Amino acid sequence: MTSPTWAAVRIWGRADLRRRGARRTASAVPRYERASAVPDAAVLANSPSFDAHQRAETDALPEVRKSYPFEIAFGLNPIKPANFESSTLIPTTPDSVKALFGVLVAGRLPDPARADEVVVDENARRADSLPLGSTMAVGQSIPPAEVAQLPPGFVPPHVDRSYTVALKVVGIAKSVSADPGWAPSSGFFAQYGPRTAGFINAFVTLRGATPISHASPRT
């Protein structure tokens, strides 16, 4: 586990494969950190062996106040709009949604009871024509040749190597990099998680730290 807050910001910025990049100023990072209540640490096991039992052991550590698990889905990508190229993290619980979305500038968080809602950032809204109420489509495609190159257990037999889902944009998050970003609801994981190739990591807050809250959209 990595505990310094600045390290957590950098891990958060890179763990989702370009969703939140590194173009931050010395003043912007602290402001964003205060507004979004960035987690104190990240558990980046990057392995299917980091299962529910091991996550429970992590949660039980005396230093851990709360965990916010998420899935890194390495085969899931946007397919509509056609020019929208960005991977994401998938929150696995309703609480994880607050840890992933940072600051909303418009709209709302996705409903955890729905699998078809998504938040995109300002870059995606502007460059990829994804305003509130618009529809994007994501799909998983893992060719057999790619499966053969992955470590054992990364694509278990029950994974659906090809599927497509339409998602409605219900919120716009503040951009913190030059790249477009997006993330679905935890309801997406509840419905499609068993069909999705990936592994679960987690952000955590530590005892004595400020609980994660969510900043309201600007008015």
| pLDDT for position 14 | 42
pLDDT 10s digits, 115-144: 999 999 999 999 888 999 999 999 988 777
Q: 39: pLDDT confidence band, cut at 50, 70 and 90?
A: confident
Collect all residues with Cβ–Cβ distance below 8 Å to 110 and sequence separation of at least 6. 97, 117, 118, 119, 170, 171, 184, 185, 187
Query: Residue 202 pLDDT more than 60?
Result: yes
d(CA 152, CA 137): 29
Highest mean pLDDT range out of 21-30, 57-66, 99-108, 173-182? 57-66
Q: Provide the 3-class DSSP secondary structure of residue 39.
A: coil
Residues 3-22 as b or e (16 or more Cβ within 10 Å = b): eebeebbbbbbebbebbbee
**CA angle (113 as vertex; 116, 90 as ends), nearest 5:** 60
CB 163 within 8 A of CB 55: no
| pLDDT for position 182 | 92
**Range from 3-7, 25-29, 71-75 carrying the lowest mean pLDDT:** 3-7
